[in-house]
Amino acid sequence: MTEPYTPPVLPLLDKRQRPLRDLRISVTDRCNFRCNYCMPKQVFDQNYRYLPHTALLSFEEITRITKVFVAHGIEKIRLTGGEPLLRKNIERLIEQLAALRTPAGRTLDVTLTTNGALLARKAHALKAAGLQRVTVSLDALDDAVFRRMNDVDFPVAEVLAGIEAAQEAGLGPIKINMVVKRGTNENEILPMARRFKGSGMVLRLIEYMDVGATNGWRMNEVLPSSEVIKLIGDELPLVPLEPSRPGETAARWGYADAAGRHDPVAGEIGLISSVTQAFCGDCNRARLSTEGKLYLCLFASHGYDLRALIRADGADADLGAAIGRIWQDRTDHYSELRSALPADAGSVIRRVEMSYIGG
């Protein structure tokens, strides 16, 4: 049933007084890459059992759930995967989400994260459907390093062509996400910084995280953001910038001019440091899985089944009440607790996989 839903009194706050503002929606659990920090080939092989199509939320179900989330204060939607561009007719979902409005009548910020493999052929259609921005995962410019990391022998040139197509289509400002893994691609940090400085794109360097239980995460493979900043800053001087908005995941650093001030033309980088500098304190993100489970943290061990509610023909008011209760009971702050956990916690605590709920 889809009768009009009376929105709650805003803002909706969790137990730590964090508002609900950002919804990440995974539209598929499949990906055409096998990056070892996310979907390692030895686990996600030809025998791996993906979700059947009937288990996936339909576009109409996603839109309905999102509309209720918007009434609770959501202002930004990010489509993720797996690889979201593998979901057939994804443009139709984007059109539906782009048509939603906040209680104040504003459009939503509708974005998408992709590995870029299909972006060159889809960029203009995505823009026409109402997508505003893309974030592209790119872990190296060196083709040999990039092919090793995606583990399907995919060439970096095709991802760069996708980024160029996204720029031409107006899907910007584009963010470039680079997961940094010590011993694997740290030599690519400076080439990436040089490449995207002054490009109008924002390079974001992400500490290798202990998401899920299949990537064999070890702390000695984490390159702390403090070391990344020093490495870049020694060649390309940087100055710290203020957060762009509450709940921002990336610490912002701007390229400096000769006088030591931020040069807007040169642009900026971002550092996502969930391992060494937890940002749980103002986290305002919820995550909806491909099959309709709501997760309150990237490192969560369980989700809340919203699909069952809507497929049981429940009213939007019931769905909204459930979402409200779940968020108001939220206490998640895994990154702040990590340092107190035993070294083998990843093998003891079964956490949801990144490929299931997106990054």
Domains within the chain, CATH numbers bracketed: 22-357 (3.20.20.70)
Instruction: Tell me the pLDDT of the chain (359 aa) as tens digits.
Output: 455 556 566 789 999 999 999 999 999 999 999 998 889 998 899 999 999 999 999 999 999 999 999 999 999 999 999 999 999 999 999 999 999 999 999 999 999 999 999 999 999 999 999 999 999 999 999 999 999 999 999 999 999 999 999 999 999 999 999 999 999 999 999 999 999 999 999 999 999 876 655 555 677 788 999 999 999 999 999 999 998 877 678 899 999 999 999 999 999 999 998 777 766 778 899 999 999 999 998 778 789 999 999 999 889 999 999 999 999 999 987 666 665 555 544 444 555 665 656 65
Return the closest-CA partner of residue 22 out of 287, 273, 202.
Answer: 287
Measured distance CA(22)–CA(249) in Å, rounded:
11
Distance of CA 125 to the CA centre of its chain: 21
β-sheet bridge partners, residue 331 = none
Q: Where are the beta strands (DSSP E) in the chain?
A: 22-26, 76-80, 109-114, 133-137, 175-180, 202-207, 238-240, 251-255, 268-272, 285-288, 293-295, 304-305
Contacts of 344 (CB under 8 A, 6+ apart): none
pTM of the model: 0.90
